[in-house]
């Protein structure tokens, strides 16, 4: 799903776009899985999203790290986008990237991929940082509010370290409240909660 045109900053504040109860699945249902780069791209400003489930299969039929490939679940480029209930799971790079200003997020749930085969295939920042944060706010963002974020790891297939659950710019206008990371099972860990802050989550 792509909403709006890249780079268009037209205001829709008097007639916002509403997207409610939308569901996306990449693979896991049959032996001929689909592939995507990104499931959802929101370019328009003043969008309201209510209940998104965005899922790359890492179990089920026809599933494999090199089969049902999908880089990123959600990319939000528009300004003043509000999301209520955003669930993004198992993508092979960032789960969610938020580049727009004035964003608001209420309740985010995300699992990292179970099936990363080893650490070298799961490195961000051109191979310099272990793992990919689930939730990334772009460096150019100056204004964002998020509340109630749960980020989980289950490194089923390999001993994977994920440096942080969320990666955000250190700016006064960027605020996240009530965020937690959890190790569900498996190997490795999420080492920090936000950037390099917060204790590691282990078994």
Active-site amino acid positions = 111
Residue in the block written with tokens 């200003």? 101
Rounded to whole angstroms, the Cα distance separating 81 from 101 reads 8
| C-alpha to C-alpha distances, 37 to 41, 76, 80, 150, nearest whole angstrom | 10, 14, 24, 24
Burial of 65 (0-12, 13-18, 19+ CB in 10 A): middle
Residue pair 104/48 in contact by the 8 Å Cβ criterion: no
Residue pair 181/135 in contact by the 8 Å Cβ criterion: no
Residue pair 139/97 in contact by the 8 Å Cβ criterion: no
Rounded to 5°, angle at Cα 56 from 134 and 101: 40
Rounded to whole angstroms, the Cα distance separating 131 from 95 reads 12
Residue in the block written with tokens 């792509």? 2
Closest CA to 47 of 16, 73, 77, 71: 16
């Amino acid at each position: 799903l792509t909403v709006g045109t890249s780079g268009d900053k037209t205001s829709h504040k008097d007639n916002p776009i509403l997207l409610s109860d939308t569901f996306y699945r990449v693979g896991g249902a049959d032996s001929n899985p689909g592939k995507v780069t990104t499931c959802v791209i929101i370019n328009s400003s003043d969008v309201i999203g209510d209940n998104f489930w965005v899922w790359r299969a890492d179990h089920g039929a026809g599933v494999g790290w090199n089969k049902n490939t999908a880089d990123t679940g959600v990319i939000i480029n528009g300004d003043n986008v509000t999301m209520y209930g955003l669930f993004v799971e198992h993508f092979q790079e960032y789960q969610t990237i938020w580049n727009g200003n004035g964003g608001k997020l209420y309740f985010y749930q995300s699992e990292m991929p179970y099936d990363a085969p080893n650490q070298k295939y799961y490195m961000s920042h051109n191979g310099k940082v272990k793992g990919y944060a689930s939730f990334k706010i772009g460096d150019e963002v100056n204004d964002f509010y998020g509340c109630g974020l749960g980020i989980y790891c289950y490194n089923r297939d390999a001993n994977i370290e994920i440096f942080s659950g969320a990666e955000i710019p250190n700016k006064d206008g960027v605020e996240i409240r009530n965020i937690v990371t959890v190790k569900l099972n498996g190997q490795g860990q999420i080492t920090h909660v936000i950037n390099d802050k917060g204790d590691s989550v282990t078994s």
